[in-house]
Structure 1
Amino acid sequence: MRLLPKDQDWTPYGYLIYLLYYASVPFIVPATAWERAISTGSVAIALPLYFWGYWLRGRRALWVVGAFVVLGSALGHINPAASVFFVYGASYLGKAFEALTAYKYLGGILVLIGVETWLLQWQAFMWIPAVVFTALIGSVVIQQHHSKRLTEKLLRAQEETERMAKMAERERIARDLHDLLGHTLSVIILKSELASRLAEKDPGRAALEIRDVERISREALSQVRSAVRGYRSAGLASELREAQQALETAGVHLEASVSPPELSPLQESVFALSLREAVTNVVRHAQATVCRLSLQQNGAFCEMEIADNGRGGALVEGNGLSGMRQRVEALGGALESDGSRGTRLRIRVPV
């Protein structure tokens, strides 16, 4: 049978010396037989209370505080060393309450000692140790538990921060993989289908398309490796070339007007990845024949608009469009969409 919880150190055993002092006083100073018997018997009550208090958590420890205060009040006129019971009671206040409330209860115990001293005419060597050590030990223990709670809160906050950082990183990786591979795999599918249709009619053209598939696959592998190293986009110029090639393969004519202002690497990356996602959606879903792209500065903003003459309709934000919006809003920008006449995406980022 364990007397103390597993997370408790050995120091409570050392504090029992005060209980030994209480039990020995009737045998050191003049005392009657029944006073000695009562003092010895009260030790049998105090010991279980003492160890039980270490197992209690929160406000339940108040039961032990009350029991020790009752013992100190009842036995003070029999054994002047009963002041130790007030000290023991005060030592559990820090466990039971937050610091401010614990100090209020500690003040209540000190007031009770003062009242009993006045009513029962306790001797100085009873009430002075009771007041001094109850206040001292009680305050020290309250501060210890207060510091422990603050440390635990800090650790929980750190754990939550780490958890949120991991979630954000997983979301970032998911967005990057979608942006990097979604567009490229769409182009590979289109070119493979085209090569399959041309295999018998125009073997030379089919071979060219297959070589393009090989080239694009190698570029995709390079992009994934770059993303792992933290470089998620090859830049706007590269994305424009890739967009034109993907649209031409899908039979969509590109009308482009591009004159961007000077952008930071992060801003350029956001525009490049947004362009990639938008073109991928045009190729996959729009059923368009024309795609218009404009990228230019408008006042304090850099604006990019991608519009097509496809089927339009209500836009459902999947992983790609949602990731695009998150990136844009992270830079203080905004993303607008309209599916009434074809599909139009407009991105505005402050520069």
Structure 2
Amino acid sequence: MSQINQADQASTLNFSEKLRSLWAKPWIPSRYGKAPFFWMLSFVIFGWKYLYETPGTFELAMIVLSICLFLPIYLYSFWISGWRAVFCIVVILSLGLGWANYNFGGSSFVIFAATMCSRFQQKRDAYLGLFLVLATAALVSYVMKFPTYFWIPAVIFSIPSAMGAIIGERLGRANEKLFRKQEEIEHLAALAERERIARDLHDLLGHTLSVITLKAELAKKLFDKDSAACKKEIIDIERTARQALAEVRSAVLGYRDTGLAHELRGAKNTLDSAQVQLESEVDVVQLPAAIENIIALALREAVTNIIRHSNASACHLSLKLIEQDIHFHISDNGFRDAQKTPEIEKGNGLTGMSERVRAMGGKMLISIKHGVAIDIQIPLHSAQ
């Protein structure tokens, strides 16, 4: 017996919790604000009659029943669309027509039924629903010979109220779509920024750590043979590490601009340390900042790959302006045995380089002959 009582108490508590949670939830979607509650003030027309006439017991019961039926359907209509909206419209319209011979304020129900046509997603369906509500109200009023002080305000006031609701609803949906698009754009922008930072950090740290590793190995070899040269390499390691730290900070803040001249000097020093002879043909060209940054990063990535992955002894570099196109070329002789030429596997560096070039409307070609050759062509006007 006690178990049954406990089960009853548990079910009662669950029911009360459900009621409490239902009461705590918003009755109307937040995008409507408090306006739907103010719209219910139009029921002043429905109550006008009872300022000078006391309702009978039956009529009072019908008033209470009508309000109890109207309120939940009215609130529910803000959450639905489609055939559920049709159900709400039919019920509210029937309430209005049912009160026609007893209270001219029943036209308020007809007006509410007309405004509920705004719940349809398609504009065509909304205006069709409005037409059917007005036609039904007019036809039933004509057949049942309802008084003119009922159907005239029901028809006349329904038109501006419903059209305003339809336009407002469509505007609200358009704003929601716009907000969602803005959120999507912000999300994509954040992803693009993270990818940009990832590419830049890879280019910076991949190159710099390779240089530091190379110089550290060289310093280790020179430690017992040439202390002065070893000390010079250690000083270069410190300088490179400090420079890399500054560049990483700038890249994270999004305003890194090392410049091509700086990268050319760094490439020469790096290749010299790796005992790779650099031959360069660089025309004096005024490059836009965006293109200069892409070429500088491409040079950095190419040099990193040369000292990390190839056995090159020579490297050729050229930068020319040909018919309003920037042509950048860098190649090495790292694969001297043509029969053992490996296939190129694009890592993050080459992929990031290719993405930057395509973003500027350019082309990048990677080929292998005596070594890896990278050719980049970018239209000069793409940065304007």
Q: Does 1:342 align with 2:365?
A: no
Q: Is the 8 A contact 2:283 2:320 kept in 1?
A: yes
Q: Is the 8 A contact 1:313 1:343 kept in 2?
A: no
Residues 117/227 of structure 1: CA separation in 2 closer, same or farther (3 Å cut)? same
Give the alignment of 1:258-269 within 5 angstroms: 258-269=282-293
Residues 230/41 of structure 1: CA separation in 2 closer, same or farther (3 Å cut)? closer
Aligned-pair RMSD on alpha carbons? Answer: 2.7
Following the alignment from structure 1 to structure 2, what is the Cα–Cα distance between the partners of residues 72 and 214? 87
Q: Does 1:97 align with 2:121?
A: yes
Residues 21/223 of structure 1: CA separation in 2 closer, same or farther (3 Å cut)? closer
Q: Is the 8 A contact 2:77 2:119 kept in 1?
A: no
Q: Is the 8 A contact 1:260 1:302 kept in 2?
A: no
Match of 1:114 among 138, 150, 156: 138
The one-letter code matched in structure 2 to 1:97 is: Q
Following the alignment from structure 1 to structure 2, what is the Cα–Cα distance between the partners of residues 291 and 14? 79
Q: Which stretches of structure 1, 4 residues or longer, exceed 6 Å deviation after superposition?
A: 29-33
Count of residue pairs brought into register by the alignment: 350
The one-letter code matched in structure 1 to 2:225 is: K
- Deviation per CA, 1:91-116, whole angstroms, max 9, x where unpaired? 22223434443222112211212222
Following the alignment from structure 1 to structure 2, what is the Cα–Cα distance between the partners of residues 14 and 215? 72
Q: 1:242: Cα distance to partner?
A: 1.1
The one-letter code matched in structure 1 to 2:364 is: L
The one-letter code matched in structure 2 to 1:256 is: S
Counterpart of 2:358? 329
Q: 1:174: Cα distance to partner?
A: 1.5
Residues 69/261 of structure 1: CA separation in 2 closer, same or farther (3 Å cut)? same
Match of 1:208 among 222, 225, 232: 232
Counterpart of 2:86? 62
Counterpart of 1:53? 77
In structure 1, stretches of 5+ residues that fail to align are none
Residues 199/33 of structure 1: CA separation in 2 closer, same or farther (3 Å cut)? closer
Residues 286/171 of structure 1: CA separation in 2 closer, same or farther (3 Å cut)? same
Q: Does 1:25 align with 2:25?
A: no
> Which stretch of the first structure deviates more once superposed, 191-200 or 294-303?
294-303
Q: Is the 8 A contact 1:233 1:273 kept in 2?
A: no
Q: Is the 8 A contact 1:188 1:217 kept in 2?
A: yes
Match of 2:344 among 311, 315, 323: 315
> Which stretch of the first structure deviates more once superposed, 41-50 or 164-173?
41-50
- Deviation per CA, 1:166-205, whole angstroms, max 9, x where unpaired? 2222222112212222211111100101111221233232
Q: Does 1:88 align with 2:112?
A: yes
Q: SS of the residue aligned with 1:200? A: coil
In structure 2, stretches of 5+ residues that fail to align are 1-22, 336-340
Q: SS of the residue aligned with 1:224? A: helix
Counterpart of 1:124? 148
Q: Is the 8 A contact 1:295 1:304 kept in 2?
A: yes
> Which stretch of the first structure deviates more once superposed, 90-99 or 239-248?
90-99
- Deviation per CA, 1:124-171, whole angstroms, max 9, x where unpaired? 111101101211211122222222222222222222222222222222
Q: Is the 8 A contact 2:48 2:105 kept in 1?
A: no
Residues 341/61 of structure 1: CA separation in 2 closer, same or farther (3 Å cut)? farther
Residues 6/328 of structure 1: CA separation in 2 closer, same or farther (3 Å cut)? closer
Q: SS of the residue aligned with 2:286? A: coil
Q: Is the 8 A contact 1:252 1:289 kept in 2?
A: yes
The one-letter code matched in structure 1 to 2:366 is: S
Following the alignment from structure 2 to structure 1, what is the Cα–Cα distance between the partners of residues 300 and 324? 24
Residues 201/25 of structure 1: CA separation in 2 closer, same or farther (3 Å cut)? same
Residues 227/53 of structure 1: CA separation in 2 closer, same or farther (3 Å cut)? closer
Following the alignment from structure 1 to structure 2, what is the Cα–Cα distance between the partners of residues 107 and 317? 64
- Deviation per CA, 1:302-339, whole angstroms, max 9, x where unpaired? 21111122245332222211221122222221111113
Q: Is the 8 A contact 2:28 2:75 kept in 1?
A: no
Give the alignment of 1:130-169 within 5 angstroms: 130-169=154-193
- Deviation per CA, 1:239-275, whole angstroms, max 9, x where unpaired? 1121112112222222222225321222222111111
Q: Is the 8 A contact 2:320 2:328 kept in 1?
A: yes
Residues 11/245 of structure 1: CA separation in 2 closer, same or farther (3 Å cut)? closer
> Which stretch of the first structure deviates more once superposed, 95-104 or 186-195?
95-104
Q: Is the 8 A contact 1:296 1:303 kept in 2?
A: yes
Identity of aligned residues (%): 37
Q: 1:276: Cα distance to partner?
A: 0.8
Following the alignment from structure 1 to structure 2, what is the Cα–Cα distance between the partners of residues 219 and 35? 89
Following the alignment from structure 2 to structure 1, what is the Cα–Cα distance between the partners of residues 258 and 196? 17
Q: Does 1:291 align with 2:315?
A: yes
> Which stretch of the first structure deviates more once superposed, 17-26 or 332-341?
17-26
Residues 254/16 of structure 1: CA separation in 2 closer, same or farther (3 Å cut)? closer
Q: 1:340: Cα distance to partner?
A: 5.0
Q: Does 1:282 align with 2:324?
A: no
The one-letter code matched in structure 1 to 2:350 is: L
